[in-house]
């Protein structure tokens, strides 16, 4: 009997410990949020999940919110690039000897260049050999002209000599022809008269040959000069092509190079570019806009003239207002590295600070879109979910104690959520202590 008493007395501490643990569990249960204390609440349920809100420290949360009729706003965020509305494009030159041009020199991108300063050069080694050949052909044409002139002058001298001989022969024959018949025999007289006639014909023929020569002189010279002119034209074409391969800045500005789509990168020295391809541009820094890209899921929500706010990765804290100037009606690939189709949105900036904004900067465009007006709006931190996935709020009771109320929601904005039922305008709400993790 004494042994049983000793065993019973030894179990008292164990019982006391169990009682203390039970009391501690009950206390912790009372301190849990309302969503965990009331897992069996019934009411409306929606299938639209809400993303978790980064509510921040408890001390920064409002202690109470009175339901008001307001707007539900959701932001559409576009990524894009800052570009100049007006700029001078510099393209790969159109030369005759080759379809591709190889870049040999480029000024540093983003540098400020002055008008007339050399910015791009293309390889002209093949044109140098063509130029040497054209110069040799031109020299040969010039020598041919000199040779032709010398030959023609020699021919003129021969013709002039023939005319002089014919004139001398005619004078001589005319002297004999003037002798009377009484002084000569009949045969000699006839012979001298015939010689006069022949000399006159010979002189006439010599003069005609000289006259024909003089008339054809210019045409014969022009014939050889045509080859010289053609050689000069060919040489000028080559020199013109060589000049096209050396590009100087047409105006002051910042040089921006284009993209080499075949390599999915910026153009760089050594690239072979087809004729007409954009190599660089000199933008007008006083007229800047943002070219953003919109996927088809958000395209239908955008309209021209919608207001927006633009920020830049390179300028933390800087923002500027703008508006949607235009939207393309046909989707296209953003670049050759992706197959996804996007629409293009042009964002006009309200003001341009040329000292800060530079072409090529990555921009983010925030376009607020009102998806509901004059509707009961609940801040996201005042809405919670229970273990069954239902949405609830904590109404402030008469004694300031929270009353859990199941609600159904409508559209979801970035800061506010539309309350379809469960609350009324003017209801005081208390912030929910914990939001369940859900996916949007």
pLDDT means over runs of 10, the chain (440 residues) = 42 53 50 38 38 41 81 89 86 85 88 88 88 91 91 92 91 85 82 89 92 90 90 90 89 84 85 89 83 85 90 93 90 70 90 84 91 89 89 85 89 90 89 50
Closest CA to 176 of 159, 206, 196, 160: 196
Residue 51: per-residue pLDDT? 43
Residue 9: per-residue pLDDT? 44
The CATH classification number of 125-244 equals 1.10.287
- The answer to whether 254 and 361 are in contact (CB under 8 A) is no
CA distances in angstroms from 224 to 149, 159, 212, listed in the order given? 10, 22, 19
- The answer to whether 393 and 31 are in contact (CB under 8 A) is no
Residue 5: per-residue pLDDT? 40
Torsion of CA 11, 16, 19, 20, to 10 degrees: -140
Residue 296: per-residue pLDDT? 81
Question: How do the domains of the chain map onto residue ranges?
Answer: 1-31, 90-121+248-283, 125-244
User: Which one is the CATH code of 90-121+248-283: 2.40.50, 2.30.30, 1.20.120, 3.30.2010?
Assistant: 2.40.50
Residue 295: per-residue pLDDT? 84
Residue 204: per-residue pLDDT? 92
Residue 40: per-residue pLDDT? 33
Residue 337: per-residue pLDDT? 62
Residue 13: per-residue pLDDT? 52
Residue 17: per-residue pLDDT? 58
Residue 354: per-residue pLDDT? 78
Cα–Cα distance for residue pair 322/308, rounded to 1 Å: 5
Indicate yes or no: pTM above 0.75: no
Per-residue exposure over 13-46, b if at least 16 CB sit within 10 Å of its own CB, e if not: eeeeeeeeeeeeeeeeeeeebbbeeeeebebeee
- Those residues whose C-beta lies under 8 Å from the C-beta of residue 46, and which sit 6 or more positions away, are 390, 391, 408, 409
> In this structure, are strands 265-266 and 253-254 parallel, antiparallel, or unpaired?
unpaired
Strand residue runs (E) in 52-207: 65-66, 68-84, 87-91, 100-106, 112-113, 118-122
Cα–Cα distance for residue pair 113/88, rounded to 1 Å: 13
């Amino acid at each position: 009997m004494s042994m049983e008493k000793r065993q019973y007395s030894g179990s008292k501490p164990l019982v006391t410990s169990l009682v203390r643990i039970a009391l501690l569990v009950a206390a912790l249960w009372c301190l849990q949020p309302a969503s965990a204390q009331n897992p069996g609440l019934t009411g409306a349920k929606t299938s639209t999940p809400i993303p978790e809100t980064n509510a921040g420290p408890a001390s920064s949360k409002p202690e109470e919110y009175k339901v008001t009729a307001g707007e539900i706003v959701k932001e559409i965020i576009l990524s894009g690039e800052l570009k100049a509305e007006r700029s001078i494009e510099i393209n790969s030159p159109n030369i005759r000897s080759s379809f591709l041009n190889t870049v040999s020199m480029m000024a540093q991108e983003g540098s400020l260049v002055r008008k007339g300063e050399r910015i791009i050069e293309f390889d002209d080694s093949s044109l140098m050999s063509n130029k040497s050949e054209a110069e040799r052909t031109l020299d040969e044409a010039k020598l041919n002209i000199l040779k032709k002139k010398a030959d023609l002058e020699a021919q003129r001298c021969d013709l002039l000599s023939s005319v002089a001989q014919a004139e001398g022969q005619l004078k001589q024959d005319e002297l004999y022809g003037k002798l009377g018949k009484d002084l000569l025999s009949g045969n000699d007289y006839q012979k001298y008269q015939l010689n006069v006639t022949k000399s006159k014909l010979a002189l006439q023929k010599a003069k005609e040959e000289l006259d024909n020569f003089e008339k054809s002189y210019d045409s014969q010279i022009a014939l050889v000069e045509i080859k010289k002119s053609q050689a000069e034209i060919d040489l000028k074409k080559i020199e013109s092509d060589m000049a096209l391969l050396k590009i100087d800045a047409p105006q002051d500005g910042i040089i921006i190079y284009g993209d080499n789509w075949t390599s999915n990168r910026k153009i760089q020295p050594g690239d072979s570019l087809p004729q007409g391809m954009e190599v660089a541009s000199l933008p007008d820094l006083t007229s800047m806009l943002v070219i953003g890209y919109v996927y088809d899921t958000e395209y239908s929500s955008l309209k021209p003239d919608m207001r927006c706010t633009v920020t830049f990765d390179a300028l933390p804290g800087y923002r500027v207002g703008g508006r949607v100037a235009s939207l393309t009606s046909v989707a296209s690939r953003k670049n050759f590295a992706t197959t996804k189709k996007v629409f293009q949105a042009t964002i006009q900036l309200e003001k341009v600070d040329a000292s800060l904004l530079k072409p090529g900067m990555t921009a983010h465009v925030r376009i607020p879109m009102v998806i509901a007006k004059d509707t009961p709006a609940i801040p996201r931190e005042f809405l919670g979910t229970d273990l069954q996935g239902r949405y609830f709020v904590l109404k402030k009771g008469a004694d300031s104690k929270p009353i859990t109320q199941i609600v159904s929601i409508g559209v979801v904005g970035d800061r506010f959520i539309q309350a379809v039922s469960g609350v009324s305008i003017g209801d005081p709400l208390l912030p929910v202590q914990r939001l369940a993790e859900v996916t949007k």
